[in-house]
Amino acid sequence: MNYPNGKKAVLHQEAKGQGKQNYSNRGMTLEEDINHTNAYYLTSDKAIIHKKPTPVQIVNVHYPKRSAAVITEGYFKQASTTDYNGIYRNRYIDFEAKETRNKTLFPLSNIHEHQIEHMESIVNHGGICFLIVRFTAFNETYYIKAETLLSYWKDKLNGGRKSIPYSAIKQEGYQIPFQYQARVDYLKVIDKLYF
């Protein structure tokens, strides 16, 4: 791509000296894509979804000069629940986002027990809860209902698989195609499932 002045656009990885960027990895992480999508949802007044801040206990601060403070030591106060929450069409939305380089499965070890408990609670209270998984090797992003994830988790606890096969995610999940403005347009899936 060239800018109107004729200069070639510098791609994200090229700027870091990592060579040319290929189409399968646009130099963006799933989190960056979701944050961009949520900003688009907010400015277009479609939904209010935000990344949850992780509570941190600040222990030590260094003041190199009067106008600047540098946190030199801090600890997470508590385990975080899921990554994002908000509201869409009068419904509470809550979800976790994960990336994997694995080509054949999504390891359930990427999800923590306290997150599962939180997601189960959201579902039990009528909220819309889900997992977004990106298989970076294929540049494919999927919406997986919390109920589906919870089923695999319970199976794991009963001695079953410790992962969700890629083939099952393709079959039971909903692929979210990459788009320009809403890069990970998960609201389209929510519309199809709930409205």
Nearest to 38 by CA among 145, 189, 186: 186
Looking up tokens 């209902």, which residue turns up? 145
| 176 and 143 Cβ atoms separated by less than 8 Å | yes
Alpha carbon 163 to its chain centroid, in Å, reads 18
- The one-letter amino acid code at 92 reads Y
Beta strands 84-88 and 91-100: pairing type? antiparallel
Phi then psi dihedrals of residue 6, to 5 deg: 95, -10
- Inter-axis angle of helices 146-157 and 113-124, to 10 degrees? 130
- 175 labeled binding residue: no
**Does 96 appear as a known binding residue?**
yes
Cβ-contact 25, 139 below 8 angstroms: yes
Q: Is 45 annotated as a binding residue?
A: no
Which residues make up each annotated binding site for Mg(2+)?
A: 81, 83, 96, 115
User: Binding site: what residues are annotated?
Assistant: 81, 83, 96, 115
